[in-house]
């Protein structure tokens, strides 16, 4: 039985991988080891570890690694601390392979720890293109990884062109689409989001359509983060539709974003906006499926919404380069542009399902690869 150690460092990574976790857990050939680390342990980012346990997974280890400060220096220091701690954890758990998800700064800690301990590293979601520092992290992790589980044929092609052995690159689709597929097959678990999930801001009447916003700071421009969020706020106020705004994640710059939102709220300007810190992922997807449009720079607008057919106003450079379905409209940071795109998206309505990022069955494909792929840590460029 192969021991598969999955390291979860953030709420969105968990949302993305959970269908695969369930498939690993259900597969008799595999034993799941779960390490929860970084912002996934922190209350102010939604205490993801408690969600994970509530959803039936056992957390084998917790690794506190975020050094406070939310700037570039502490991003690096957090990664160093995490690398040092994860080395100990992996040495104790002795997995047969280690799974690292996507491309956030702290995932480098997982990747380097696994590589240096000579454990086969599985990278989920390599070969994609985006803006920001994530670009460097993602491809560096590809070069450290031994098995690649990618979302699309185009991603597979890029991983192979970077010199990875084609026999180790598996197109599974993204397991976040599995969650989307399952989630929208179920009804909402509540008919009153506001009393069920708390958050701050007024109760909104959502019966005549509503908008969802998720906007993360763009790390290479973090001094602009405040200005950017103010532009989006202005567009949302002008649009004057009920709006659900999801709180941003830990990252250099996110304190500034959060401060912009708080300031707006305290000036009493945000009467059509309700803020949630963390919705259950499935519920969020159902909320999204019923929404008129998603606005911001989250990958959800590009990935899950391709499958859901929900229009996405994608702001700025954060998702630039990512493969897009027909549901996406790209705009700059200015409130006028955001507002125009938003109006046009709401008017145009939902589009057809696009399986660009997966067909909803990635989890079992991933488990099957993990159970059967040759385990080797030898690599060599083929050219």
Q: Which is nearer to its own copies, 141 or 285 (CB)?
A: 141
313 contacts 341 by C-beta, under 8 angstroms? yes
Binders of its own copies among residues 314 to 353 (CB under 8 A) are 321
Contact segment (CB under 8 A) with its own copies among 21-29, 138-146, 239-247, 305-313 equals 138-146
Tokens of 108: 């480098």
Binding its own copies (rule: CB under 8 A), the pick from 21, 83, 99, 341 is 83
Binding its own copies (rule: CB under 8 A), the pick from 157, 346, 350, 351 is 157
Q: Report the interhelical angle of 281-289 vs 11-26 (nearest 10°).
A: 110
Q: Which is nearer to its own copies, 188 or 263 (CB)?
A: 263
Binding its own copies (rule: CB under 8 A), the pick from 58, 161, 203, 326 is 161
Site string for its own copies, 229-258 (x = CB under 8 A): --------------------------x---
Tokens of 60: 């084998």
The residue among 370, 381, 382 whose CA lies nearest residue 172 is 370
Please work out the total of residues on this chain that contact its own copies, with binding judged by CB under 8 A: 70
Classified as helix, coil or strand, 110 is helix
Given the structure tokens 């509540």, which residue do they identify?
190
Rg (CA), the chain: 20
Q: Which is nearer to its own copies, 196 or 340 (CB)?
A: 196
* 63/78 Cα distance (integer angstroms): 11
Q: How far is the CB of 196 from its own copies (least distance, A)?
A: 16
For residue 121, CA distances in Å to 4, 133, 167, 377 come to 10, 21, 15, 8
Q: Which is nearer to its own copies, 135 or 283 (CB)?
A: 135
Sign of the alpha-carbon torsion through 226, 13, 151, 117: positive
For residue 7, CA distances in Å to 26, 54, 93, 197, 289 come to 18, 18, 12, 27, 29
* Contact status: 375 vs its own copies (CB under 8 A): no
Tokens of 281: 């992922």
* 361/345 Cα distance (integer angstroms): 29
| DSSP-assigned beta bridge partners for residue 330 | 314
Binding its own copies (rule: CB under 8 A), the pick from 50, 53, 59, 80 is 80
* Contact status: 277 vs its own copies (CB under 8 A): no
- DSSP string for residues in 219-287: GGGGGGHHHHHHHHHHHHHHH-S-EEEEPPPSSTTHHHHHHHHHHHHHTT--TTEEEES---HHHHHHH
Q: How far is the CB of 280 from its own copies (least distance, A)?
A: 20
Binders of its own copies among residues 165 to 204 (CB under 8 A) are 200
Q: How far is the CB of 68 from its own copies (least distance, A)?
A: 4
Sign of the alpha-carbon torsion through 75, 79, 81, 86: positive
* Contact status: 81 vs its own copies (CB under 8 A): yes
* Contact status: 68 vs its own copies (CB under 8 A): yes
* Contact status: 147 vs its own copies (CB under 8 A): no
Q: Which is nearer to its own copies, 108 or 213 (CB)?
A: 108
Which positions touch its own copies (CB under 8 A)? 39, 41-44, 61, 63-70, 72-77, 79-88, 91-92, 105, 108-109, 112-113, 115-118, 129, 131, 133, 135-137, 139-144, 157-158, 161-163, 200, 220, 255, 259, 266, 321, 377-381, 383
């Amino acid at each position: 039985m192969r021991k598969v150690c999955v390291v979860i460092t953030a709420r969105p990574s968990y949302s993305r991988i959970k269908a695969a976790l369930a498939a690993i857990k259900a597969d008799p050939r595999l034993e799941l080891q779960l390490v929860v680390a970084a912002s996934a342990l922190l209350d102010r980012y939604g205490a993801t570890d408690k969600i994970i346990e509530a959803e039936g997974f056992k957390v084998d280890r917790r690794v506190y690694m975020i050094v406070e400060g939310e700037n570039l220096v502490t991003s690096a220091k957090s990664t160093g601390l995490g690398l040092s701690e994860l080395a100990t954890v992996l040495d104790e758990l002795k997995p047969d392979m280690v799974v690292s998800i996507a491309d956030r700064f702290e995932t480098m800690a997982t990747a380097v720890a696994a590589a240096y301990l000579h454990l086969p590293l599985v990278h989920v979601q390599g070969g994609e293109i985006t803006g920001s520092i994530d670009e460097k992290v993602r491809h560096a992790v590809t070069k450290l990884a031994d098995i690649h589980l990618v979302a699309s044929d185009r991603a597979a092609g890029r991983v192979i062109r970077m010199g990875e052995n084609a026999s180790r690159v598996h197109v599974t689709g993204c397991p976040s689409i599995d969650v989307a597929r399952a989630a929208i097959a179920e009804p909402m678990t509540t008919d009153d989001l506001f009393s069920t999930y708390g958050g701050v801001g007024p109760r909104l009447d959502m019966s005549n359509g509503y908008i969802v916003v998720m906007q993360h700071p763009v790390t290479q421009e973090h001094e602009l983060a405040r200005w950017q969020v103010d532009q989006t706020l202005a567009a949302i106020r002008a649009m004057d539709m009920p709006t659900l705004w999801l709180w941003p994640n830990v990252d250099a710059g996110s304190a500034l974003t959060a401060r912009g939102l708080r300031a707006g709220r305290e000036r009493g300007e945000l009467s059509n906006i309700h803020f949630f810190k963390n919705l259950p992922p499935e519920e969020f997807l159902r909320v999204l499926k019923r929404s008129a449009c998603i606005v911001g720079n989250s990958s959800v607008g590009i990935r899950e919404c391709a499958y859901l057919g929900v229009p996405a106003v994608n702001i700025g450079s954060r998702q630039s380069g990512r493969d897009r379905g027909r549901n996406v409209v790209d705009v700059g940071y200015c409130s006028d542009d955001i507002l125009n795109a938003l109006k046009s998206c709401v008017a145009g309505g939902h589009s057809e399902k696009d399986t660009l990022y997966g067909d909803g069955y990635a989890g079992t494909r991933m488990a099957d690869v993990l159970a059967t792929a040759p385990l080797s840590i030898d690599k060599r460029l083929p050219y």
